[in-house]
Structure 1
Amino acid sequence: MSLLNAGVFDGGDASRTAASQIASQVKSSPSGFPAGDVTSLADALRDGAKGTAAKREGACVVIETVAKEAKAAAEHQTVALVADLLKCCADKHSKETQTAASAAMEALARTMSAHGLRAVLPSLLEAMDPKEKWQTMVGALNFLAVFAQCSPMSTSEALNDVIPVVTQMVNDSKEEVSVAARECLSKICESIDNRDVEPFIPALVSATIDHEEVIECVQKLASTTFVQTVTAAPLALIAPLLLLGFRVRSTATKRMCAVIINNMSKLVEDPEDAAPFLPKLMPALEKAKEEVTDPEARAVCGKAFEQLQSIEERLKTHNSVKAVPDVVAKEVANAGVAKDKAAYVQTLVCSLVNCKVHDDDDWADELKAYGVDEATAKKLFAPLAKLYFTDAIEEEEDDDAELLCDCKFTLAYGSKVLLHNTKLKLRRGHKYGLLGGNDSGKTTLMRSIANEQVDGFPPASELRTVFVEADIIGELSDLPCVDYILADPRIKKAGITEEVVERMLISVGFGEMQNGARNLVTFLSGGWRMKLALARAMCLNADILLMDEPTNHLDVMNVKWVEEYLLGLKNVTCIIVSHDTGLLDRVCNNIIAIDSLKLKQSRGNLSDYVAKNPKARSFFELKSSTGFVMRFPQPGFIEGVKTKTKPLMKMAGVTYTYPVNQEPTVKDVTVQVSLASRVACVGPNGVGKSTMIKLLTGEVVPQEGTVWKHPNARVAYVAQHAFHHIEQHL
């Protein structure tokens, strides 16, 4: 039975009165309009005769009123009439019809589902074709501008399809179209949810309209540190401007465009988001890296090109997480959604998937208005989440150890992003080996955890975390070991006594030294410095030990002692960075690898991990990943030295005792060094290896014996800790 009475097609107030009655009936109907009424409305809108203008106006008024008052009740039917409404925006016989059609379009934009854009987008894009009448084009632009303000999420998801079309209209010869297009472009770009890009959206929009501003806009973007995940939305706005930047003659502008691409492409998690832009950006970069005259700028373009190539490679093996309409339609049918609303619900579900709405409660809230109850919505969510939301499905762990940390964060060092949107999960008592190439951020990650700079990581009040490294604070180096530890702010805060500190120092072996725990820190060798750091950590009774190269400078016996100590910590979690493969094999039961700005965790020791990931073997090989070769300058001729066996440096009968010691560290030592010498100096920690070299180089003066060096010999001395903090001074 039809709900459309005769008065509805009379136009004016008669149509409005009738439309209000129809809206109340539609609102109470579970299926909206009767099927025949939708056909009648469509026929009325399409009848372009001069004498039927009131009929068209009435149809527009009905759609507007139903959208406002009945809202979602007939939305699955009214969205199908958008193309006809847009035609009526340019009705040549009736201004009233034009006004009514525009009002109906605005009402739909404000009241329709936040995920319904894809149902009307084909009609909107078709209406923006230059061959259409300008009023139709303006109607489509205004709809998008209003919808973007009401529903930014699904607008953002569609920007890749929308921006190229709207951009072509911003300088249209018809002023009304140009003004509407500029307003629309501004509104839809505001839907971009990327905190790095948001401050630049006005400048980006302005440069899109006026290409004279491209260079200035590129300069602003190039100075930005990108840390947010990059999706298709910001790329849709930025990529066309970068292409314009590559057409500029300036080498500096091309270099900046390459820097932006390099920085942003590292943060693309889903390669499908970047796929539409690769066919244009890659040729532009390839041309730049071949033709730019500045070698450094060419290298920057080359790096950016390699980044895009890596995305292209990922695409080859990538499993799409974009909704497939046929797959979604099947699940909608299986869930028992009413047939008359199934097609529209399918559109909404596809949008929920593509907008990455991971919460089934949000699905239930969104679909409730379209006749889908909560149980049905969750029944729909389960199989599709398993198919498309791979990150949202947590791996079940057969582990009953206490979960200490489960956080997601981004980490940067200066302007360089080290880890992006990655997860870290730690359990009590587990020993984790942290792997990664040079400059990948291993030590920075551990230092950031210790300094409470990792988002979501439990604070020190909940979880005691200690960073163990052989760091000696210069102004405290003249203190005895006990006092050095007691001076640590964390030790003071914990109220740890001198007796406890001394007991810990003796337990790690300081009792063997001449002055025991009272030995001055400045005279400790590298191995003893690491033991000092371990003793300090033991005093703090840590929940998590963060260990940076714990076996550096340790002799074989002390390495074994460290391994046994770590294995004995049943309730303490350790994260270990080390180039000692034996340590990682014998101590670790989990591996965390830094790969493509992500932390990837796997069970087992280092050998287990390398068996599955052979590339990880390169982390422990003595070769450069970049092809760099270390070359020392060729030494010049030394007067009086005719053979490679003639001494250049020598000492005889040398004895040296540190000021605080009673017994000499080295006694009656005689050595000589020639051009042919290749000497390994070995021995347990603390026996005087470094002291002997310091005596030979003249850094320390002996109390007995003689030291001689050829006056023309140039000596380079690289101490154990020479580069320990070099990253802080780069």
Structure 2
Amino acid sequence: MSVLAALDVTKAYGERTLLAGVSLTLDDGERVGVVGRNGAGKSTFAKILAGVESADTGSIATRRGARVSYLAQEPDLDPARTVRASVEEGLAEWLAARSRHEAVTERIAEDPSAAALLEEQLAAAAEVERLGGWDRSHEVDRVLGHLGILDVIDRTTGTLSGGQRRRVALARVLIGAPDVMILDEPTNHLDADTIDWLERYLVDAFRGAVLLVTHDRWLLDRVADRTLEVEGGNVHAYDGGYADYLAAKAERLALQERTEKNRQNFLRTELEWLRRQPKARTGKQKARIGRAEAARDVEVTREATRVELSAQVADAGRAVLDLRGAGLRVPGGDDGRWLVRGLDLAMTTGDRLGIVGPNGAGKTTLLRAILGELPLAEGELIVGRRVRVGYLDQQRAALEADASVFETVAQAVPSVDKERIDPRSYLERFAFDAHAQKKKVAALSGGERARLALARLLASAANLLLLDEPSNDLDTDTLSALEDFLSTYEGSLLVVTHDRYLLDRVTTGILCFEGDGRVTRYAGAYQAYAAARAREEEERAQAPKASKPRAERPKPAGLSKNEQRELDGIMDKIDEAERSAAAVEAELGDPALYAGGVEDARASAIRARLDEARALAAKLTARWEELESKKA
């Protein structure tokens, strides 16, 4: 039975049409994934379905009484409310129903003979049952525990990081148990274990309908009954998850190619016939001309330019990297807490290791130590003499805001090979056409910045790649191209990512950060790692409890008074820096700066200010993370 439907929905921004007469029906209990290139209109479609944004034309209908909840990419939380109060907003209808039942029960106690009150009490009780039963208060703690933020339940959301706020918003949606959940990139800021839990919840526990906008292909394969692709203003529907979608899309494109080839053959035949015929036409001839003109005017949907990643790799020799008894503490910390302790890791050419573990466990810190940005607290690091390290950071900070796309890569391209690859041709492989190559880095979208950072990195001829969350901001097409490249990469790889699909396609081993400084290496890709972890969990569950209590670890010293004061005020500074960056970025959107197709000289100064504002926000955020990690 249908719970939500869209009919002939259109949406355009200026001359750009994102949705052109799109229709959709979502049934009870159905789980639908939404994919598409960056900027195709996925999030816009989700907002329209959720009622957050209006369509230009068309209609959205929900079944009477159905409740629809929406998770936006940027959470809308009251910074003054606690985490508990914010999550309990998802229980607002349940709390109201319980309050109505309690109120009418009190009135019945005063007048037991009032039949109308008894009917009202029964109706209120039925509503409480429909919304999940009589005792749901414990669910807040349970969901926050699974999402890894139970320890901040009494803090106000304004003191949390962006990732923590995102988890609070997700908890608020999940706790409400609506009839329809519309989730826009729900796995952002979640580690692999938490994503596993979310996947199980959506499949086994949630009984409503789900619409997922996500680039997490592993999640799609395990959750989605149907996959929608937003492309060129249209929405194409495919049965099944991501793998089914890929196979069915390939068939559709092959059929489209055959149809277009037949059309071209028909046109050639008809045009040749027209050239041979006299100008005076019979009725049959005119009809034939009409068919030829109709075939000529068919609008063919062209596939967008596919990203094709490639790189030359310098020979590193056999030994690439050797960590012996390596230890790392919290950067800048004085609490004695170990992130890594006694790590022995030898990498040779061809090793491709994925790094997984909870947020804040030290995964990025390990990459920075290998780069030489942070010293080891103990042990030894040996990097091969011929090793050339290439690093992709989460913030893409190596990109200069005032440089053009072309300038950014032209500096690196000479090292690709001795014959020198043309930078313009090289950038076209990364879907940057001639117009896009002239754009400034500051004007790029998140997806474009990610592609440019990859292009610059792969032009360096590095033979050891250190990638920190490379899938951030990439659409599924670009992710697929990245995986194709990495799976045949002739160098060595260390990749920090929560993208299980990428880990399973690319890696030859997994490093798991267990906590308390322990890092374990597992052979094989992600599925082999997950199976090994499951066996370990089963063995632990079956093992008899140790009779001797374990000695407690000494608790970290925590923050000094000055550091606590700094932490108390740092979120306001981060928010102010981010608002400042957003305001400067808005200035770059002024059409007057680009009048007549020529960029105004003021734009360069604005970009410099934007770069400074973003750098300050990044610096404050890094300091906040450092202080948080030192808390007891």
Q: TM-score, normalised by structure 2?
A: 0.37
More strand as a share of residues: 2
More helix as a share of residues: 1
Larger Rg computed on CA atoms = 1
Q: Which has the higher contact order (CA 8 A, sep 6+)?
A: 2
